[in-house]
Amino acid sequence: MEIEILQAEPAGSNKALGIRGASSKALTRVQLVNRIAQMAGPTKLGAALAALTEYAGASGYLLVRCDLIQEPGLDFVVSSNWPFDLVRTISGLVANDYARSTELEKCMSLLQPNFALFPEQVELPQSISRQFCTLNFNVGRTRLALMLIYEDGFILSADRLRDVGLMTAYMRSFAEASVQRGDRDCDLTEREIECLYWIAEGKTSDEIAVILGISRNTINNYITSVMRKTATKTRSEAIAYAVRNNLV
């Protein structure tokens, strides 16, 4: 998984975020499209996100995988130019917000700018607003969130934010497509991957059997095969393995 976290400067420094001065000119939509068109590749996601952040008028970006936020460590981070300490402290905030949302709310929030406040105990760089913006979107079955921080008093454009959400999904799709099944450590069948997807969604063997139209015993056999191929001992371990390797 691609993870980019810049830690060149301390959390209180604007230099770490490359914050624009008041005289900087924002990119136009045409300029943005032209720039993004030259970055369509899995290794250029960070550069594309920097351009999208500039277009939105924001100061820093954090792209996360929502399905990994509950896991220990920083594997939930896809790409970021936030100060490292801020990235490390934000996971709990995002996890709680995501857990409180229903499936319908998650669906309705796609590509809709959502604004929230950092807790008072979170230390922010100078001049950065305590308010941040989140854009949720899906790439295939992968659920992601782009979080933007910006200067105090700056008003983000809703139209530009929607453009940013769509283009971030577009750029991330190249990274997803670059993971070829032939490069994986195990060789799961399509049916086994289907079962993995549904148990990752919280479905029981009986529920998956109804969804796929096959018996409960067959479902259990598929899941047993998955755990054998992935060298995992429980369904939770198999789900974690599948998420980390972009199998679901």
- 111 near 162, Cβ under 8 Å? yes
Tokens matching residue 102: 């229903």
Calculate the alpha carbon distances from 79 to 21, 61, 74, 133, 225 in Å: 24, 8, 11, 16, 33
Q: Categorize the per-residue pLDDT at 17 as very low, low, confident or very high, splitting at 50, 70 and 90.
A: very low
Give how far the C-alpha of residue 122 lies from the chain's centroid of Cα atoms, to the nearest Å.
21
d(CA 82, CA 87): 6
H helix or E strand, kind and range, residue 133:
strand 128-139
Residue range 73-101: mean pLDDT, rounded: 76
In tens, the pLDDT along 55-72 reads 999 999 999 887 766 655
Output 60 or 246, whichever has higher pLDDT. Answer: 60
May I ask the CATH architecture of the domain 15-177?
A: 2-Layer Sandwich (3.30)
At the topology level of CATH, where does 183-244 sit? Arc Repressor Mutant, subunit A (1.10.10)
Residue range 74-103: mean pLDDT, rounded: 76
Summarize the chain as % helix, strand, coil (round to 5): 50, 15, 35
Kindly report, as residue ranges, where domains of CATH 3.30.450.30 are found in the chain.
Answer: 15-177
In degrees to the nearest 10, what's the CA dihedral of 104, 105, 107, 113?
170
Strand partners, 145: 64, 136
Question: Which residue bears the tokens 């409180």?
Answer: 100
Instruction: Give the whole-number percent of the chain exceeding pLDDT 90.
Output: 13
CA atoms within 13 A on the CB side of 92: 6
pTM score of the predicted model: 0.61
Residue range 30-44: mean pLDDT, rounded: 74
Strand blocks (E) in the chain: 60-65, 77-80, 114-117, 128-139, 142-151
* pLDDT given for residue 109 in this prediction: 75
Q: Is the pLDDT confidence value at 180 over 60?
A: no
Q: Categorize the per-residue pLDDT at 240 as very low, low, confident or very high, splitting at 50, 70 and 90.
A: confident
In order, the DSSP letters of 152-187 are: TT----HHHHHHHHHHHHHHHHHHHHT--GGGSSS-
Kindly report, as residue ranges, where domains of CATH 1.10.10.10 are found in the chain.
Answer: 183-244
Query: What single DSSP character describes residue 5?
Result: B
CA atoms within 13 A on the CB side of 76: 24
